[in-house]
Structures are given as C-alpha cells and as structure tokens.
Amino acid sequence: MPVALSCHFSLLASLFAAPYEEVYAPVIPFALIRVVSYGVAAIIATLILGTISSRLLSFDEASTVLLFGLVIGVINAFIKPVVRLLTLPITCLTFGLFAVVVNTVLFYAGASMTPGMEVGWWGAILGSILTSLASGLMFSVVDE
C-alpha cells in the first residue's frame, strides 16, 4: 500500500476514534465534585473574611477552616437544593433576593456546626456572597 494512501486511512481512522482520555478517564461522581468545589469556595471566603476583620469571622486554627469547608460543601451539595426548592415561591416573589437569605442562613448554620468557628451576621452575609462567587467561578471552570 502506498504511503499516501495509508496516511489517509490513518487520518480517517483518527477522526472516528474516541480520544484516549474520553474512553479511559475515570469517572468522578458529580456529587463529589460539588462537595469539593463548595468546600474550596468556603475556605477561600473564610480566609478572605478572616483577613479583613475578626469581627466578621474568626477561627482557631487551620484545621477548623478545613472542617468548615467540608461542612459547607456537604450542606451546599445536599441540603441547599432541597431548601431552594422549598423556598422557591418566596424567592420568585422577591425576584431572587431571598436566595441571599437562604445562603446566609446556611453559611451561618455551617459555622455554628463547626467547633472553633465564630461568625457574625454580617460575616455570614459577606461569606455567603463570596462563597457563591467563588463556587460560580469554579463551576464555570470545572463544568462537565
């Protein structure tokens, strides 16, 4: 077989073959991706708020921040969708502003569940907004 013809066949075969990564890449559950993304976003928000003022948010040590990231990751991945569905009518009536209230309450609840973490209401409001922004950026990068 001439070389030019074999090149055309290999080019044609490569067009129809699936890439290696697509076929053999391990499948990561979407829930795990959500928990990790929300957790990293909460850690980023916690470190930013803790740096700005200790009145907004304070924590004892680094392991507290990691535990808080895990707690917020689990809350946002599993509990938040149910709460958003239940509060959908009032969220629609307030043109989406009630979603900020839901995010703030869940952020405050996560901080209350984490030992060594203290957050005020203004810290919870700013933390929930920063967590939403950071998780939105991460989901735009890690989009499936």
Q: End-to-end CA distance of the chain: give it in Å, rounded.
A: 42
Count of domains for the chain: 1
Any domain includes 17: no
Instruction: Return the number of other C-beta atoms located less than 10 Å from residue 52's C-beta.
Output: 12
Any domain includes 96: yes
Percent of all residues in the chain with a pLDDT value above 70, rounded to a whole number: 79
What does the alpha-carbon distance between residue 54 and residue 122 come to, in Å, rounded to a whole number? 12
What does the alpha-carbon distance between residue 58 and residue 35 come to, in Å, rounded to a whole number? 23
Q: Which domain holds residue 107?
A: 28-141
Assess whether pLDDT exceeds 60 at residue 19.
Answer: no
> Pairing state of beta strands 57-59 and 117-119?
antiparallel
Any domain includes 23: no
pLDDT interval class at 31 (50, 70, 90): confident
Query: Dihedral, CA atoms, 118, 100, 75, 82, nearest 10 degrees?
Result: 150
Any domain includes 9: no
At 94-144, the pLDDT tens digits run 999 999 999 999 999 999 999 999 999 999 999 999 999 998 888 888 765
Any domain includes 80: yes
